[in-house]
Homo-oligomer: A and B are copies of this chain.
Amino acid sequence: MLSFESDYNKGAHNKILERLLETNLEARAGYGCDTYCDRAKAKIKEYCNCPGADIYFLAGGTQTNQIVIDSMLKGFEGVVAAVTGHVSAHEAGAVEYTGHKVLTVPQTEGKMQAEDLRTLLRTFYEDNNHDHMVFPGMVYISHPTEYGTLYTKKELEALYGICNEYNIPLFIDGARLGYGLMSRGTDVALPDIATLCDVFYIGGTKVGALFGEAVVFTRGNMPKHFTTTVKQHGALLAKGSLMGIQFETLFTDDLYFEISKNAIDRAEELKAVLREKKYQFYIDSPTNQIFVLLPDERLKELRKNVSVGFWEKTDEHHTVVRFATSWATTCEEIHELAQIL
């Protein structure tokens, strides 16, 4: 059985497991106050070209979104996101659970348009009764988006420009950041990300780690007593060093970028096969997630040999599915899949 269901279907890159083995019986300080975390943070700051950043490791994506948003918003504020944004649609209301509304703007291929953001903000402040409404206090985007699409540098500049104009922070969800950075044709590099937002995270769970996300507060703007806030949210890992070890490994000798590139290379190969075999793409994604529209009959057949992700039904007889490649996808798997398709 082949699995193209997700980019979190396997364990971790071998180098990470090796490091975990090597360091396993060393005694370490708890809660992320160890030297592995320190070194990992230093390396990430260097790769981001952002020496003044504050960095914090958290275990998962929804947790990170919840805590970053809750800790940076004031009580009367909500976060602006595209309707298809992960915090808006697929986190079981984790943001609302902390008392904050997700204010939505339309999406275009999963992306937020600067114009739509501006309209929301302008309309809000023009409304005489906005004291009775949730204040937009932060903007959330994901890069790559939930549809695998990417912002251009110019688009990020436009969004960040509006945020600065209205004096609200921009938060970039980088659960799959590596795959975005290594996409062919993108003009957005890691230091650009660090320049064009107030806080973002570098996804580990979906890019070679067992688990872990590195939150980067780009302006040294980590909220005060952040560890207490993390503990209060139930998210403080006793063995925080595990994330330090993993991220130190990922940010040594470009490993994070190399394994991200693997996913992109395999995705491009797969797209070539799909194109050749006349499959219908649902969206044109330049990263590791490929969305294809299939007749349900065809899907049923396919699933005998390949697990793929359900995305949505478009009508009674058709379904959009997702093929995801990852740091772990091999050329052999692509070839095998090509035989089946």
What is the CA–CA distance of A205 and B11 in the complex, to the nearest angstrom?
A: 19
Q: Is the CB of A63 within 8 A of B234?
A: yes
Q: Is the CB of B14 within 8 A of A231?
A: no
Which among A127-135, A152-160, A181-189, A275-283 touches the partner chain?
A127-135
What is the CA–CA distance of A30 and B211 in the complex, to the nearest angstrom?
A: 12
Collect the chain B residues with CB atoms within 8 Å of residue A8's CB: 30, 238-239
In this assembly, does A92 line the interface, its C-beta being within 8 Å of a C-beta of chain B? yes
Collect the chain B residues with CB atoms within 8 Å of residue A231's CB: 62, 91-92, 94, 131-132
What is the CA–CA distance of A8 and B33 in the complex, to the nearest angstrom?
A: 13
Q: Is the CB of A9 within 8 A of B30?
A: yes
A side interface size, CB within 8 A: 83
Considering only CB atoms, which chain B residue lies closest to A4 in the complex? B27
Considering only CB atoms, which chain B residue lies closest to A10 in the complex? B25
Collect the chain B residues with CB atoms within 8 Å of residue A135's CB: 225, 228
Q: Is the CB of B75 within 8 A of A70?
A: yes
Q: Is the CB of B134 within 8 A of A96?
A: yes
Which among A45-53, A292-300, A307-315 touches the partner chain?
A307-315
In this assembly, does A5 line the interface, its C-beta being within 8 Å of a C-beta of chain B? yes
A329 to chain B, nearest CB (A): 10
Q: Is the CB of B11 within 8 A of A242?
A: yes
Q: Is the CB of B75 within 8 A of A96?
A: no
Could you give, for residues 195-233 of chain A, a 1 whenever the CB lies within 8 Å of some chain B CB and a 0 otherwise?
A: 000000000011000110000000000001101110111
Interface residue from B3, B9, B235 paired with A63 (Cβ < 8 Å) = B235
What is the CA–CA distance of A65 and B78 in the complex, to the nearest angstrom?
A: 19
What is the CA–CA distance of A235 and B97 in the complex, to the nearest angstrom?
A: 13
A338 to chain B, nearest CB (A): 18
Collect the chain B residues with CB atoms within 8 Å of residue A210's CB: 20, 210, 239, 242
Q: Is the CB of B24 within 8 A of A12?
A: yes
What is the CA–CA distance of A35 and B93 in the complex, to the nearest angstrom?
A: 28
What is the CA–CA distance of A97 and B75 in the complex, to the nearest angstrom?
A: 9
Interface residue from B21, B229, B307 paired with A75 (Cβ < 8 Å) = B229
Collect the chain B residues with CB atoms within 8 Å of residue A310's CB: 127-129
What is the CA–CA distance of A43 and B59 in the complex, to the nearest angstrom?
A: 27
Q: Is the CB of A205 within 8 A of B328?
A: no
A4 to chain B, nearest CB (A): 9
A229 to chain B, nearest CB (A): 5
Q: Is the CB of A237 within 8 A of B211?
A: yes
Q: Is the CB of B24 within 8 A of A9?
A: no
Interface residue from B27, B102, B239, B312 paired with A205 (Cβ < 8 Å) = B239
What is the CA–CA distance of A307 and B273 in the complex, to the nearest angstrom?
A: 58
Q: Is the CB of B242 within 8 A of A211?
A: yes
In this assembly, does A274 line the interface, its C-beta being within 8 Å of a C-beta of chain B? no
Interface residues of chain A, those whose CB is within 8 Å of chain B, are: 1-3, 5-6, 8-12, 14, 17, 20-21, 23-30, 59-67, 70-71, 74-76, 78, 89-94, 96-102, 126-129, 131-135, 205-206, 210-211, 224-225, 227-229, 231-239, 242, 307, 310, 312-313, 328
Q: Could you list 10 A-B pairs, sorted by A, with CB under 8 Å?
A: A10-B24, A10-B27, A59-B59, A63-B235, A66-B234, A76-B229, A92-B229, A98-B99, A127-B310, A131-B225
